[in-house]
Amino acid sequence: MLILAIIPSLILLFAVWKFDTVEKEPIGLLAKLFVGGALTIISTQVFGFLGEKLLRICNKDTDSLVYFFIFSFFLVGLVEEAGKYLVLRFLTWKNNEFNYTFDGVVYAAMVSLGFATIENIIYVIVNGSGASLVRVLLQAPGHLIYAIFMGYFYGLARLNKGLGDKKKVLMHTAEAVMVPAVMHGLYVFCLGTKKSIFFILFAIYEIVIASFTVWQFLKLSKNDMLIPGMEFTIDWDDDEQEGTDEGKM
């Protein structure tokens, strides 16, 4: 079961890397993002624990939909996706390798799959033979869906930074956090309430959003855009490489 907790993430990592067709990202940077994503499990546990304590003080009816709504969307969705975004931002926003919009999707995917992997491993260790196979297999794909949306808006934010449009940078930055947070919260809420109506709505939603995400991912891969101002970095690197090659000759 522990192997199954890791395999989905590895398959998806390879798929994301494969579709980064214009310019592959450095393995070292991708590794840092993956590890950084895994480490956000710490902030998730700390803020989730403190937030739940506060929520129980404010609302003692832990079985109410209001309680579970706040728990799902804020203490899980927002806390986890905000943590991922902070790692993403810290490691890539000013990095010269971030020169194409699709890079944002690749980076976000690495962070999210790092988190999904360690979360899956912990879940399997804690639950042992009682671990749900369905949850183990669907955990990574779910996080990747959130990551693609985060990376899409993150790439747009970086693009508009290059264009000098500060308003759109702020708008897309907010979207990069809030859209995946809402999606993640909806997932937890629908499954956690254990009510048939929410299961049905969730099943329909998952089919639609998964299909849309795959289509959007392939579209973004094919229509990758160079971020304004980063072409000079590329030219410099190319010139430096040519000079090195000439020196070797």
**pLDDT, tens digit, for every residue of 137-186?**
888 999 999 999 999 999 999 999 999 999 999 999 999 999 999 999 99
Cβ–Cβ < 8 Å for 76, 184: yes
Summary mean pLDDT of the chain: 90
pLDDT at 213 over 90: yes
Give the orientation angle of helix 166-192 with respect to helix 79-92, to 10 degrees. 140
| Band of residue 232 on the pLDDT scale cut at 50, 70, 90 | low
How far is the C-alpha of 164 from the C-alpha of 176, rounded, in Å? Answer: 18
Phi, psi (degrees; rounded to nearest 5) at 100: -130, 150
CA 149 to chain CA centroid, Å, is 8
Quick one: which of 190, 191, 185, 176 has its CA closest to 82? 176
Which residues, including other chains, have CB under 8 Å from residue 39's CB and lie 6 or more apart?
A: 87, 114
Residue with more model confidence, 70 or 3: 70
DSSP H helical ranges for 133-192: 133-163, 166-192
* Averaged pLDDT, 109-129: 93
Cβ–Cβ < 8 Å for 163, 105: no
pLDDT value at position 18? 94
Cβ–Cβ < 8 Å for 81, 184: yes
Calculate the CA dihedral of residues 73, 79, 82, 88 and round it to 10 degrees: -130
pLDDT at 234 over 70: no
pLDDT value at position 230? 77
| Band of residue 203 on the pLDDT scale cut at 50, 70, 90 | confident
The structure's pTM equals 0.90
Cβ–Cβ < 8 Å for 230, 162: yes
pLDDT value at position 102? 97
pLDDT value at position 238? 44
Q: Is 228 helix (H, G, I), strand (E, B) or coil?
A: coil
Instruction: Give residue 121's domain range.
Output: 2-248
**pLDDT, tens digit, for every residue of 40-85?**
999 999 999 999 999 999 888 888 889 999 999 999 999 999 999 9
Cβ–Cβ < 8 Å for 8, 123: no
* Averaged pLDDT, 189-208: 86
Residue with more model confidence, 197 or 170: 170
Percent of the chain with pLDDT strictly greater than 90: 74
What is the total count of domains within the chain?
Answer: 1
How far is the C-alpha of 92 from the C-alpha of 33, rounded, in Å? Answer: 9
